[in-house]
Chain A
Amino acid sequence: MINRNLAKVLSFRYKIIAFVLVMLAAGLVLLPKYEKHEGISPEQLLSNAISPERYISTDELADKLINQDPSFLLIDVRDEESFKKYNLPYAINIPLEKLLDEESETFLNQDEYNIILYSNGNFYADQAWIICNRLDYKNHRVLKGGLNEWFTTIINPKKPIENMPKITFDLYSFRKAASMYFGVAYPEQVKPATDTKNKPIKKRVIVRKKKKMAAEGGC
């Protein structure tokens, strides 16, 4: 037996399906929109934040600088005054309050360079790192310990005592050599002939002039 009513309905089946399809698509347009969570998810941010990968040690950085590794940008997040007083070679100054400026973004949001953020300690650099990560900027790292650590390890490395392992001595000699590269003079290097009394032989820090960066990072 043929169910006439059913057959009647089924003769319209394509029209019904088409109607349902349009309704579904229109539903998408009519649905109330809500603000989507922009940038990376909190879970992702947390896992980035607790990853030890996000730090670079002062030794690694010194090694990169000495070898003139072209693959990274050093970014100083302190204010301009401190930047002018002292900064790492080739660093770019982007003070924390200007982090979200448009011109800063050209440096921060790009894929070509590894970006190393530093401040006096970890703190401001970490803040900058969190913000940049939240915005899903890639390849950001923080100089562990910041400039303070830089001074105590690279510029003024502590001489190891005799009973320390060889590895410490190797590290010391690396750091000492690095500090010489960055302009520290050691007493044993200075020739006695040029030595004068009133000239105290102090560890000098020569501030290298910031080189003008060629247009990098797409600006």
Chain B
Amino acid sequence: MGPLIPNGLIPEEWNSIVAILIGLAFGFILEASGFSSSRKLAGVFYGYDFVVLKVFFTAAVIAVIGILYLDYLGFIDFNKLYIHPTYIWGAIIGGVIMGIGFVAGGFCPGTSVCAAAIGKIDAMVYIVGILIGVFIFSELYTLFEPIYDGYFLGNLTLMDSLGVSPYWFVLVFTIIALVAFFVVDLIRKRVKKVFY
């Protein structure tokens, strides 16, 4: 976990305990903000509830602004952060499958566990579906491997691949986010309300 464990501020053994605590907090907040409801999650696709989009977009914007300020002030070295590697076709195909599952089931993997924890049967069925998917993937791994491991582009960020200054990028990104919030609010007002 972060700089605390490698630097010996917290002993190594606490790693899993800290992870569990963070996980509990995450799950609690997810549930408290209504993310354990598949109707709320699916709402973003049908246009009656855009909370999912707003939450994730805001989180991304806040995080990137915060990181850039910390980097500017010298608390974080931006270049040393872990950047998830990009396997372009794996990401695209996986994203499509995940998206279909999201629309059809009304959960993403994290929220499905969260909803199962409060006793929703559809979420439990969804988890069984995930496990079946995992099983199929592992059984056919040799078939999928060229896509899974191929088309590697490196540890890219959007800023790197677009070749723009991160600061301008963040400003544009923030404005896009706010415009998106405004537009989805308009859409939400036009779509028939769904009560759940």
Contacts and interface: CB of A to CB of B under 8 A. Distances in A.
A24 B168 contact: no
Interface in A11-47: 18, 21-22, 24-26, 28-29, 31
Nearest to B73: A31
A25 B174 contact: yes
B79 to A, nearest CB: 9
Question: Interface majority SS on B: helix, strand, loop or mixed?
Answer: helix
Contacts of B137: none
B131 interface: no
A28 B69 contact: yes
A28 B171 contact: yes
Contacts of A24: 65, 69, 174
B26 interface: no
Interface string B34-76: 0000000000000000000000000001100100110010000
B167 interface: yes
Contacts of B177: 21
Nearest to B174: A25
B175 interface: yes
Contacts of B175: 22, 25
A29 B167 contact: yes
B171 A25 contact: yes
Nearest to B173: A25
Contacts of A25: 61, 65, 170-171, 173-175
A29 B171 contact: yes
Interface residues of A, number: 9
Nearest to A34: B72
A182 B167 CA distance: 58
A84 B65 CA distance: 56
A26 B61 contact: no
B127 interface: no
A13 to B, nearest CB: 13
Nearest to B177: A21
Contact of B181 (A18, A26, A28, A29): A18
A15 to B, nearest CB: 10
B178 interface: yes
A186 B181 CA distance: 85
A29 B170 CA distance: 9
Given A28-B69, A31-B72, A22 B170 contact: no
Contacts of A26: 171
A28 B68 CA distance: 8
A18 B170 CA distance: 14
Nearest to A33: B167
A29 B62 CA distance: 15
B180 to A, nearest CB: 11
Contacts of B65: 21, 24-25, 28
A5 B107 CA distance: 41
Given A25-B173, A28-B171, A29-B171, 15 more contacts: A18-B178, A21-B62, A22-B171, A22-B174, A22-B175, A24-B69, A24-B174, A25-B65, A25-B171, A25-B174, A28-B69, A28-B167, A29-B168, A29-B170, A31-B72
26 contacts: A18-B178, A21-B61, A21-B65, A21-B177, A21-B178, A22-B171, A22-B174, A22-B175, A24-B65, A24-B69, A24-B174, A25-B61, A25-B65, A25-B170, A25-B171, A25-B173, A25-B174, A25-B175, A26-B171, A28-B65, A28-B69, A28-B72, A28-B167, A29-B170, A29-B171, A31-B72
Give 9 nearest A-B pairs by CB, closest first. Answer: A25-B174, A28-B167, A25-B171, A29-B167, A18-B178, A25-B170, A29-B171, A24-B65, A28-B68
